[in-house]
Chains A and B, each alone.
Chain A
């Protein structure tokens, strides 16, 4: 294709180990690296993305310019010898580069497929490039397109909707039981780190009160303070069960601390308001028989893991749908790029036709002396019509689909046939 070429170079979590990624020269914000990047010979537009899982450089260059080595040099700095570059680096051209960028934006290339952070990081990186005015018509369009592809993937597939961690799974379940977690009371049995993490998620989703129940009251008080909650001893557990809705148990007790028959009378006191037990302790704290009680739901760590696994499988299915969208959009963009290659040729052809017409009119019109103004107009119209009729079919040919694939060659042939001067 005459004109521009898009080039994407980078390293990511799949191909490059963390030790190597750490050494890359670009860990210090965007401003300096962007400036350095701009100084490389032959680059027209440039953009840089750096996250903890990947570093990628996206540039558009004049066709034929060889910047690949300079770019990998820039990326790795002095950390590696040039021979090692190829082992870690991936490098995509044109259509492949577009496809890769869309995959990244749609979070299909992420470590946790479907996570939503990457789009924000992409936009942030773009903002830096835009401030430096380092992106031009091609990259601007390409990056904007990548955002809209990501949005389309999000709205048309359910890739981001499944809970793929235990805490999220617990929250998803709680929402299916209670409708919303807002104003629900949480009881933590055991004051360990796991309990803390779970409580953080629940409070983050709107849970109101946190009660910490622990063998040693001191530790319970510490944790309760973090959530503005209250602390009670283990002997008050039964009493508390009357007032709370969600229970997270994570003690180091060797055996079961709450039996089914202990909870049964409590349900009557609660007037059967549902209870959701989450047992993340190993060995288990809660009697598995609790789940048989009406309006009581018990999930242990294995159950939650199953939910997570299930969601992962579901997400993989959605990822296939998402890749199809990415393929489709990448193809569309390729067409646009190809069209970009043709545009100057079409303009040149129109220009040439116009010149020929003007020339001939100027020669002929003075010789036809008796023409009225109206007749003169008609002659001009006719000349113009002949030119555009003549050029119509070649232009259709140039724009046609089968032409786009080999547009570089076709454009060259076209230019020779019509003797259009070389561009630029």
Chain B
């Protein structure tokens, strides 16, 4: 019974996210204000359904559902969605939702293709640290994904302004200043979570494997990602790195995040690769 609900819930999430994305796109093209409200409500519904889906998986599995490929990506989409919704509560950046909803939809589609089977939990993962470490890390990825969307938008808008050829995006995208602020804001939050994720992981590693750090590929790549973001934040604070350079760095950083999440698992292996 519960597993059927679970199955239907995911299809519901997929459908609602698709509709949200579609309405956002129609809004993006037509710029009809009332559509934006509609899109936001649908996107919020998608966020609620995602939460319910993850809860239902938790109830069935009895542990935090973040260990399989499907679960990790769904969790990622969930964190992007809620990072956006929480962000939106404070700021409003023109047409940001369109980009975010596309990203979320892509993730959910990837999750849909992965196996939804429940795998028994590996002994090393049976710990209170699982939700803490994985949850915090995925929250970090959520905010970093938002920064990535903002960076893309910045590059698009900057190109129009520099080339002086005003096409499709010029009117639809917000000002450079607001995109740069978005970037800095999301990056700061994301970086704090990322740091906490690495620290909690290292403490857990000490308990589970006996050492704080043992250069597992995933650990190494997390560290590389961390350094990429740390360098960028440092440069922003000291040398005033901003604008295009910051946007490019954000995009590179996010590529590193994506590689840490998938590339490492499939290409490099290592003790972290449970979710194969």
Contact = CB atoms under 8 A, between A and B. Distances in A.
| Same assembly | yes
Interface in B71-124: none
B175 interface: yes
A306 B177 CA distance: 24
B168 to A, nearest CB: 12
A299 to B, nearest CB: 7
Interface string B206-237: 00000000000000000000000000000000
A168 interface: no
B240 interface: yes
B164 A306 contact: yes
B170 A272 contact: no
Interface in A244-282: 268, 270-274
A176 B164 contact: no
B239 interface: yes
Given A271-B239, A274-B176, A307-B166, A177 B244 contact: no
A177 B166 contact: no
B171 to A, nearest CB: 8
Contacts of A306: 164
Interface stretch (A64-72, A87-95, A289-297, A379-387): A289-297
Nearest to B167: A310
A335 interface: no
A176 B164 CA distance: 12
A272 B164 contact: no
Nearest to A161: B171
A295 B164 contact: no
Contacts of A173: 161
A273 B240 contact: yes
A306 B166 CA distance: 10
Contact of B244 (A180, A295, A310): A295
Contacts of B241: 272
B243 A299 contact: no
Interface string A176-216: 11111000000000000000000000000000000000000
B240 A299 contact: no
Contacts of B166: 307, 310
A303 B161 CA distance: 11
A179 B240 contact: no
B244 A294 contact: yes
Contacts of B162: 291, 297
Contacts of B242: 271-273, 295
A370 B272 CA distance: 104
A310 B164 CA distance: 11
A274 B244 CA distance: 11
Contacts of A175: 175
Nearest to B166: A310
B240 A271 contact: yes
A173 B174 CA distance: 12
Interface in B156-212: 157, 161-162, 164, 166, 170, 174-178
Contacts of A273: 240, 242
B245 A176 contact: no
Contacts of A179: 174-178
A301 to B, nearest CB: 12
A183 to B, nearest CB: 12
Contact of B170 (A176, A270, A294, A295): A176
Interface string B240-273: 1111110000000000000000000000000000
A353 to B, nearest CB: 47
B176 A299 contact: no
B48 to A, nearest CB: 32
A270 B240 CA distance: 8
A299 B170 contact: no
Nearest to B237: A271
B37 to A, nearest CB: 16
Contacts of B243: 272, 274, 294-295
A179 B181 CA distance: 11
B244 A297 contact: no
A308 B59 CA distance: 61
Contacts of A299: 164
Nearest to B179: A179
A177 B240 contact: no
Contacts of A291: 162
20 contacts: A175-B175, A176-B157, A176-B170, A176-B176, A177-B161, A177-B176, A177-B177, A178-B175, A178-B177, A179-B174, A179-B176, A179-B178, A272-B239, A272-B240, A274-B243, A294-B244, A295-B244, A297-B162, A303-B164, A307-B164
Nearest first, the 6 A-B pairs at minimum CB distance are: A271-B240, A179-B177, A179-B175, A272-B240, A295-B243, A179-B178
Interface of A: 173, 175-180, 268, 270-274, 291, 294-295, 297, 299, 303, 306-307, 310
Given A175-B175, A272-B239, A294-B244, 7 more contacts: A177-B176, A178-B175, A180-B175, A271-B239, A272-B242, A274-B177, A294-B245
